[in-house]
């Protein structure tokens, strides 16, 4: 075979190989854009796996091989042909296009990696915001739980104090009940200041002058005094009806064990005029009323402070009045 034939064969072979290398460059660029730089390219011919290679390495290998083969092809053509200016212009144009394609591929790769980096930054920012929101939610939940815990502790402390107060009040009521029962037992042994047969002149709340007048009109004891009409007695004794009514009221109250002359006077002043009215009274309300009158009497010098009755005394009076 002549040298020109061999050169032509080599030229065609280099051209074919350069074309295959260019196809591989475009194939690698497509896989790089679709699958990313971390993917792998597999080479299969007639269902036979020839090997695998990283897409990015595959791209640069194909690009270098295409550049080398194209250069060898250009050299072979240039050496085997006369220096035709038009051919040289075409070769220069092809080389220029190849350089432009190389620049385009480089710019594409740079843009791809730039977008990939921007996406990674955006994802990092999103995850950072999510973490911040989770931390804020965790902190808010913790603060809310702490507040609820403090509120429950406060309610528990308040409930404990209320229980203690209730227990103390129950104990006080129990003690008061025991005192009242004790006083009740003691008062059952007490005797009333007056009986129905007590002589008029022995009633301290009746003045000697009034006692003389009552004896003159045949009212000689407490029974006769209580059985008479106050208006009739007042007319015969030349006294005020109110005076006779007060004397009768005090005499009736003095028949209740535990009540003395000053106590009967306080009760009449309060408005209690009979044993029945006394029996229907509320101990606390009655105690408040007569203590107020008693304090006024003490200020006026009409009675001693030690004569002011206690609530136990008042309860005992009411209990005795009900017997």
Q: Quote the pLDDT of residue 48.
A: 44
**pLDDT above 60 for 45:** no
The CB-side HSE value for 61 (13 A sphere, CA atoms) comes to 10
Query: Mean pLDDT, to the nearest integer, of 221-232?
Result: 91
* 186 pLDDT above the threshold of 60: no
Closest CA to 213 of 193, 235, 195: 235
Going by C-beta distance under 8 Å and a sequence separation of 6 or more, which residues neighbour residue 59?
Answer: 25, 28, 29, 32, 105
The predicted structure's pLDDT at residue 63? 84
Distance set, CA 111 to CA 100, 107, 115, 277 (Å): 16, 6, 6, 110
Quote the tokens at residue 25. 């460059």
Section 314-323 average pLDDT: 90
**What is the arithmetic mean of pLDDT over 164-176?**
80
Tell me how far apart the alpha carbons of residues 308 and 292 are, in angstroms, rounded to a whole number. Answer: 10
Report d(CA 267, CA 249) in Å as an integer.
9
Torsion of CA 278, 283, 287, 290, to 10 degrees: -10
pLDDT at 49: 46
Please tell me which residue, 11 or 4, carries the higher pLDDT value.
Answer: 11
Indicate if the alpha-carbon torsion angle 39, 43, 48, 51 is positive or negative.
Answer: negative
pLDDT given for residue 104 in this prediction: 81
Q: Are strands 40-45 and 48-54 parallel, antiparallel or unpaired?
A: antiparallel
Say if residue 29's pLDDT is above 90: no
> What is the pLDDT averaged over residues 106-133?
81
> Which residues does residue 53 pair with via DSSP β-bridges, in sequence order?
41
Whether pLDDT at 286 is above 90: yes
Q: What is the 3-state secondary structure (H, E, C) of the chain?
A: CCHHHHHHHHHHHHHHHHHHHHHHHHHHHHHHHHHCCCCEEEEEECCEEEEEEEHHHHHHHHHHHHHHHHHHHHHHHHHHCCCCHHHHHHHHHHHHHHHHHHHHHHHHHHHHHHHHHHHHHHHHHHHHHHHHHHHHHHHHHHHHHHHHHHHHHHHHHHHHHHHHHHHHHHHHHHHHHHHHHHHHHHHCCCCCCCCCCCEHHHCCCCCHHHHHHHHHCCCCEHHHHHHCCHHHHHHHHCCCHHHHHHHHHHHHHCCCCCCCHHHHHHHHHHCCCCHHHHHCCCHHHHHHHHHHHHHHHHHHCCCCHHHCCCHHHHHHHHHHHHC
Arithmetic mean of pLDDT, 156-179? 80
Position 267 scores a pLDDT of 93
What residue spans define the domains of the chain? Answer: 3-130, 200-322
Q: Are 24 and 66 in contact (CB under 8 A)?
A: yes
């Amino acid at each position: 075979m002549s040298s020109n034939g061999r050169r032509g064969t080599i030229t065609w072979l280099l051209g074919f190989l350069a074309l295959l290398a260019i196809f591989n460059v475009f194939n690698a660029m497509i896989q790089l854009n679709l699958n990313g730089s971390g993917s792998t390219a597999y080479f299969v011919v007639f269902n036979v796996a020839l090997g695998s290679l990283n897409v990015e390495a595959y791209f640069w290998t194909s690009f270098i091989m295409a550049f080398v083969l194209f250069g060898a092809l250009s050299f072979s053509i240039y050496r085997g042909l006369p220096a035709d200016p038009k051919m040289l212009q075409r070769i220069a144009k092809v080389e220029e296009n190849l350089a432009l394609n190389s620049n385009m591929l480089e710019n594409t790769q740079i843009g791809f990696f730039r977008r990939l980096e921007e996406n990674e930054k955006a994802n990092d920012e999103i995850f950072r915001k999510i973490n911040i929101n989770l931390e804020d939610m965790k902190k808010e939940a913790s603060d809310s739980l702490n507040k609820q815990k403090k509120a429950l502790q406060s309610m528990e402390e308040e409930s404990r104090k209320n229980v203690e107060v209730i227990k103390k009040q129950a104990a006080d009521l129990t003690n008061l009940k025991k005192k009242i029962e004790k006083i009740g037992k003691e008062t059952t042994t007490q005797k009333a200041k007056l009986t129905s047969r007590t002589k008029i002149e022995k009633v301290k709340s009746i003045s000697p002058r009034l006692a003389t007048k009552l004896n003159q009109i045949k009212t000689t004891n407490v029974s006769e005094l209580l059985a008479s009409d106050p208006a009739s007695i007042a007319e015969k004794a030349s006294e005020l009806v109110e005076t006779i009514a007060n004397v009768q009221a005090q005499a009736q109250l003095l028949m209740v064990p535990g009540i003395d002359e000053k106590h009967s006077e306080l009760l009449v002043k309060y408005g209690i005029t009979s044993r029945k009215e006394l029996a229907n009274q509320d101990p606390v309300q009655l105690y408040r009323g007569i203590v107020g009158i008693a304090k006024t009497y003490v200020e006026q010098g009409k009675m001693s402070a030690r004569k002011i009755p206690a609530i136990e005394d008042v309860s005992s009076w009411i209990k005795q009045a009900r017997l």
